[in-house]
């Protein structure tokens, strides 16, 4: 018999607020994280806007000496994990740490460290490259460092599936608890790619918005004037626990996780499959895993990147997976507020979905003033709404054709 899995702790570092309460309040208010980039000179860049985190002090969470040995994406992950520990009121002295695991996804990992050290290699030679280059850069180090910080000795892995990384990490952690490999998992995603190299790569792909004259409207999912995604950064970490373990320690339960789907488009390195057929199969797999009918789903946190093809094909996928019920669903893209956090996006959006279930509130898609006539679902334009959300589904669709879908429901004994 499979273990039931519940959400008992939430931590988030985001462009619109840090911590569970500040983050979800930001979503409720339709807070906008977009601005002109301040991290570096964007004179030669076609995109000059992003959703930067400008108020993050890693020394609030990490020893000053250790901060210098960690890439920004790892710093975000540790901060979010420590917030989740506090939010979940976890006393590790009374927990079997051999059965506490960590799975944190990241699409790009330590790209800032890689770029900085490569520049040093070219200017000063190989002997001046930091001995911490490799352990700072490698993508698994967020999971590794979090496990060391909290003493988790259970399953410890990393998922790298581009923009689906955070969602797949949560799905894998869910299954680990279901089958009895762990009692508690710290899971989610982390990303920090707003740097010269990261932005240059996406600029030359022509994947990002170039709405530099009006940053606050640069991310506009499902709008006819959408022109590309807005880069964001941050981390979302949730604590998943077996129901039995959570009840024994008297934990607060935000929601129950009940479904996970993962499929491949097998189509193109960056473009989604025509008509969103891979995403549709993924949603159907997750709903089937949850053991409910498609009509049970109340809210979908869409991948909703604000790119022409993604928004169109994801809408088509929702219609394929849900049939007529697609028109009863509330859909929204919180990327309109946070930007696209790449490998961390699915984790931050999982938190938005969990809180939608917990608070019975659907966050909005801001900047949706001229809805694309081809996209005819209820995208919760501009203003969030109170609505009973018994089941919420969250989608992530990554470069390489990686699709991930997870489902949360209201917790009932």
Residues marked as catalytic: 163, 303, 340
Q: Are strands 5-14 and 234-242 parallel, antiparallel or unpaired?
A: antiparallel
Rounded Cα distance, 276 and 320, in Å:
9
b/e map 12-21, b = 16+ CB within 10 Å: bbbbbbbbbe
Q: At what angle do helices 345-359 and 20-29 cross, to 10 degrees?
A: 80
Residue 203 tokens, joined? 């600029």
In which residue are the tokens 């910080």 written? 149
How many alpha carbons lie under 13 Å from residue 409 in its C-beta half-sphere? 16
DSSP code string of 156-179:
EE----GGGHHHHHHHHHHHHHHT
Residue 56, SS3 per DSSP = coil
From the list 85, 30, 92, 100, the residue with the least C-alpha distance to 381 is 30
SS3 113: helix
Torsion (CA) 118, 160, 57, 301 in degrees, nearest 10: 140
CB distance 244 to 96 below 8 Å: no
Q: The tokens of 78 are what?
A: 């540790």
SS3 state at 294: helix
Task: Return the SS3 of 191.
Answer: strand
Q: Which residues pair with 403 in a beta bridge?
A: 263, 397
**Interstrand relation of 5-14 and 255-264 (parallel, antiparallel or unpaired):** antiparallel
The CA-atom distances, in angstroms, between 231 and each of 277, 296, 341 are 26, 33, 6
- Both tokens of 369, joined, read 């003033």
């Amino acid at each position: 018999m499979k273990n039931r899995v519940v959400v008992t702790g939430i931590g988030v570092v985001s462009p619109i607020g840090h911590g569970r309460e500040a983050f979800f309040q930001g979503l409720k208010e339709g807070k906008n994280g977009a601005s002109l980039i301040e991290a570096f000179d964007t004179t030669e860049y076609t995109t000059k806007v992003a959703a930067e985190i400008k108020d993050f002090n890693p020394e609030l969470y990490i020893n000053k000496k250790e901060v210098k040995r960690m890439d920004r994406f790892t710093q975000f992950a540790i901060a979010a994990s420590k917030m989740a520990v506090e939010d979940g009121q976890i006393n590790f002295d009374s927990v079997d740490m051999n059965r506490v695991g960590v799975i944190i996804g990241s699409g790009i990992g330590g790209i800032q460290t890689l770029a900085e050290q490569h520049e040093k290699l070219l200017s000063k030679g190989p002997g001046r490259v930091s001995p911490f280059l490799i352990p700072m850069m490698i993508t698994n180090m967020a999971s590794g460092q979090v496990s060391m910080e909290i003493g988790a000795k259970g399953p410890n892995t990393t998922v790298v599936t581009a923009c689906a990384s955070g969602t797949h990490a949560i799905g894998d952690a869910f299954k680990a608890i279901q089958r009895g490999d762990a009692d508690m998992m710290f899971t989610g995603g982390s990303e920090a790619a707003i740097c010269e190299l990261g932005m240059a790569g996406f600029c030359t792909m022509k994947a990002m918005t170039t709405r530099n004259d009006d940053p606050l409207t640069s991310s506009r999912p499902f709008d006819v004037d959408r022109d590309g995604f807005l880069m964001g950064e941050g981390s979302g970490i949730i604590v998943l626990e077996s129901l039995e373990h959570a009840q024994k320690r008297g934990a607060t339960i935000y929601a129950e996780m009940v479904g996970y789907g993962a499929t491949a488009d097998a189509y193109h390195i960056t473009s989604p499959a025509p008509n969103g057929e891979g995403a549709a199969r993924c949603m159907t797999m997750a709903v089937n895993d949850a053991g409910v009918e498609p009509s049970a789903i109340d809210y979908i946190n869409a991948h909703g990147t604000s790119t022409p093809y993604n928004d169109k094909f994801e809408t088509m996928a929702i219609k394929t997976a849900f049939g007529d019920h697609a028109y009863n669903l509330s859909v929204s893209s919180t990327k309109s507020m946070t930007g696209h956090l790449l490998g961390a996006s699915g984790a931050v959006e999982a938190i938005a979905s969990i809180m939608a279930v917990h608070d019975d509130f659907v966050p909005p898609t801001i900047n949706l003033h001229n809805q694309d006539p081809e996209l005819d679902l209820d995208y919760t334009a501009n203003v969030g709404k109170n609505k009973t959300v018994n089941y919420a589904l969250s989608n992530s669709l990554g470069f390489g054709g990686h699709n991930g879908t997870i489902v949360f429901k209201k917790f009932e004994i």
